[in-house]
Amino acid sequence: MRILHPTDFSETAELARALALDLSERLDAELHLVHVLQHFEDHAGVPFVRAYLDSIDAVLKERLRSEQKAEEQRLRAKLRELAGPRGTVELVTGDPLRELLRLAPAHDLLVMGAHGRNPLDEVFLGGTAGRLVRRSSTPVLTARDTCSVTRVRRLLVASDFREASLVAWAFATELASRGGLKLVLAHVIDAKTSDVSTANAQLETLSAGRAERLAVRPGNPIEVLPSMAQDVGADAIVVGLRRHGTVAGLVLGSRADALLRSSPVPILSVPTR
């Protein structure tokens, strides 16, 4: 198994790194750290300093190249320090989203910090993490800056009995078998129209004895799932993401997106294939 941890060296990324290190040991997985360097590129992938470099003298050109090389060496050394004795590192140049989408298929799990500086973050998970979750065909574990979890021992798997949640359950059970993780299978119901006994029966059938506990609660999943996870001692919430036509991932305003940007508990988003 291979785990990819993209880092921008922020405090939130450091929280995610702790989870990535723990999971790599727990699952006996290869850990690969990557940083995408943007300093010398614009969004189109064309060096924005090229036109300027062409207009200045050779001495200054060489100085800038030397500074870039020194910066790359510094970042590689920092990555090696963060990766630990088992991890491998990579420094790439370009657009973060494009580069991570390129690297993701070679890995089984991505673990990264979720934070954004865009005003839209108030209504939609922003930044590279949010866009990656929507487009990646590889499961992504995201941790926000409010995360206090440093290791993963128990997963709360949210199920609505639809295809996406069944895929999420299958992935969670695979992780559990590899790393001895404990599973809690949960369903959030509408108290006015849903029957608790029926939901419990469905969870029991789906679990087939693999979950240590089943949990059914009424309410809004955005609020209930993080609370439920904390109550049962779960270190992450597993949710399935379904694809909408030609658009992979989440739609604006969806419950899953709201959960991603609000939960203090890390979210493991598992896309349908």
Instruction: Specify the CATH number for the domain of residue 109.
Output: 3.40.50.620
Return the minimum-mean-pLDDT range out of 1-15, 24-38, 193-207, 254-268. Answer: 254-268
What is d(CA 169, CA 157) in angstroms, rounded to the nearest whole number?
6
pLDDT of residue 109: 98
Q: What is the mean pLDDT of residues 22-39?
A: 93
Q: Of 154, 183, 191, nearest to 23 (Cα)?
A: 154
In terms of domains, do 138 and 222 share one?
no
Q: Based on the domain organization, do 136 and 181 belong to the same domain?
A: no
Within a domain: 14: yes
- What total number of domains does the chain contain? 2
Does any domain span residue 56?
no
Q: Which of 142, 175, 202 is the last residue of a domain?
A: 142
Cα–Cα distance for residue pair 34/235, rounded to 1 Å: 24
Residue 58 lies in a domain: no
DSSP secondary-structure letter at 134?
H
Q: Where are the beta strands (DSSP E) in 114-181?
A: 140-143, 154-158
For residues 263 and 161, membership in a common domain is answered with: yes
Same domain, yes or no: 137 and 180: no
Helix (H) or strand (E) holding 103: helix 96-103
State pLDDT tens for residues 142-190: 999 999 999 999 999 999 999 999 999 999 999 999 999 999 999 999 7
The reply to whether 94 and 176 lie within a common domain is no
Instruction: Please answer whether residues 110 and 141 qualify as being in contact, where contact means their C-beta atoms are separated by less than 8 angstroms.
Output: yes
Statement to judge: residues 235 and 103 lie in one domain: no
Query: Residue 76 sits in which domain range?
Result: 2-44+68-119+129-142
* Nearest of 220, 252, 217, 259 to residue 236 by alpha carbon: 259
At position 109, the amino acid (one-letter code) is L
d(C-alpha 187, C-alpha 156), whole Å:
10
| Model confidence, pTM | 0.85
pLDDT of residue 86: 85
Nearest Cα residue to 89 out of 97, 77, 103, 105: 77
Is 240 domain-assigned? yes
To the nearest whole number, what is the mean pLDDT of the chain? 85
Using alpha carbons only, how large is the chain's radius of gyration in Å? 21
* Domain annotation covers residue 184: yes
Tell me: do 137 and 15 sit in the same domain.
Answer: yes
pLDDT digits (tens, 9 = 90+) for 39-91: 554 444 445 455 555 556 777 767 777 777 888 899 999 999 999 888 999 99
